[in-house]
Structure formats: C-alpha cells, structure tokens
Structure 1
Amino acid sequence: MGYVSLLVLVLLTTLSGLGMEEYLKANVENRMVRRVAQSQQALYVAEGGIEWAKAHLLVNSELRQGSLALATGRVDVVIEPIEGGYKVTAQGHTGLAIRKIEELLQFDDGKWVMTSYQELHR
C-alpha cells in the first residue's frame, strides 16, 4: 500500500509540474502577442499624429508642436520647417510600446506630398 501511495504522489507531482509548465508558456505567449499588438497600435497612433499635423498645418502654418490623446494611446508631434516644406516627427505611445516616425512633407498643387518616410529607433 505504501508503494501505491508513493507512486500516486510522484504521478500527481509530475502532472502538476507539466500543467504549470504549460500555463507559464501560454502566459508568456499571451504577453508577447499583447506587446506586438501594442507596438502596432503605437505605430498607427504615430501615423495618425502625422495626419493631424498635415490637417492643422493647412490652417496654421506656424504650428510647431502638439499632443493628441486617442482611445488607443497618445501621440506627440514636432514640426520643423525645412526648405520647401516641413519635417514632421510623431511619437506614438500605446501601453508600454513607443514608436516614432518622421516624414518630410511638401505642399504641392493643393495637397501634401511625402518626400521621405522613416521609422526612428533609439
């Protein structure tokens, strides 16, 4: 009877360990997916900041910076005049993710023309 109890105890311990391992792997995968989603949302928020700047520059060409809070995050925009246009930098924040993009813009024939687009990394 003692050996059967020991065998059951070892079996339960092994199954508990395997269950805990699967739980930890699933939890890590869930966090990774959440971080990727937040990173993509931060990029979209930054691109929204660029569009916000383009719309506001049509009304106020002296605009140099701004901040916008959205349901999915926040964006900080910096606008620098350059020869023939503007350099617009937008940094999007969603959760723990931060993405920063820069566009060089020119206003040509009543519409904005993007001459350069790049994502900036730290």
Structure 2
Amino acid sequence: MVQNQSGYLSLLLLLLLTLFSGLGMEVYLKANAENRMVKRETQSRQALYIAEGGIEWAKAHLLVNPELRQGSLSFDTGQVDILIEFSGGEYKVTSKGLSGLAVRRIEERLELVNGTWVIKGYQELHW
C-alpha cells in the first residue's frame, strides 16, 4: 500500500508541476506581449517628437536660408527627413520622423510675419 500512495503522490506532483508550468508560460507570454506593445508605443511617440523637432529645425534654418528645400538629421533614437515647399508667400514643411519601425509625418504651413513664424495649418499625415 505504501507503493500505491507513492504513485498517487508522484502523479499529484506531476499534475501540479504541469499546472504551474502552464500558468508560468501564460504569464510570460502576456508580459512579453505587453512589453512589445509598450515598445511600439514608445517608438511611435519618439517618431512623432522627432518629426516635430524636424519642423523646428526647418523654421530655424529657413530664417537663415529662405531657399532651403530639404534636410535630414540623425539622432540616437531615429532620424528625420524634411521637405520644404514655398508658394503664395507661405512655406509647407513636411517632416517624417523614424524611430525603430515607427514612422510619423507632420505637415505645417508657415508664414513669416515680422521675423516670427505664424502657423497657418498643422496636420499629422497618415499614409
């Protein structure tokens, strides 16, 4: 009878070990998925901030060189590409920020009035 109880105990331990292993795997998979979502959100925000920085870079450089039509900058967290068009007295500045796999684009229409930039339009472009 001692061997019979030992068999039940072994079976019970095996079932508990399987149950806890399954629960542990489930917790790991959920945490890993959350981590990936947070990483994507962080990269998306960084791309947006980089794109906004590209707009500010263009404003500063257009004050010095009104003929500027494009630019590109690299950062530790990503890069930005800027395109500038001039028509009808206003500049259309399009800034594309890249961070990891995230891409965010911003377009601003600007007019220079008495040495100060006036924003005529702002939009985030979704392509």
TM-score (norm 2): 0.93
Q: 1:24 aligns to what?
A: 29
Whole-angstrom CA distance in 2 between matches of 1:64 and 1:109: 21
Please list every run of at least 4 consecutive aligned residues from structure 1 whose deviation after the TM superposition is greater than 6 angstroms.
Answer: none
Q: How many residues are treated as equivalent by the alignment?
A: 122
Per-residue CA distance 1:41-97 (angstroms, 9 max, x = gap): 100000000011111111111111110012221000000112111000000001111
**Counterpart pick for 1:13 among 15, 18, 40:** 18
**Counterpart pick for 2:76 among 59, 71, 75:** 71
Shift in Å at residue 105 of structure 1? 0.3
Name the SS for the 2:79 alignment partner. Answer: strand
Structure whose alpha-carbon radius of gyration is higher: 2
Residue 117 of structure 1 pairs with residue 118 of structure 2: no
Residue 97 of structure 1 pairs with residue 112 of structure 2: no
Q: 2:90 aligns to what?
A: 85
Q: Which runs of 5+ in 1 are unaligned?
A: none
Whole-angstrom CA distance in 2 between matches of 1:47 and 1:82: 22
**Counterpart pick for 2:57 among 49, 52, 56:** 52
TM-score (norm 1): 0.97
Whole-angstrom CA distance in 1 between matches of 2:77 and 2:25: 33
Cα RMSD of the aligned pairs, angstroms, is 0.8
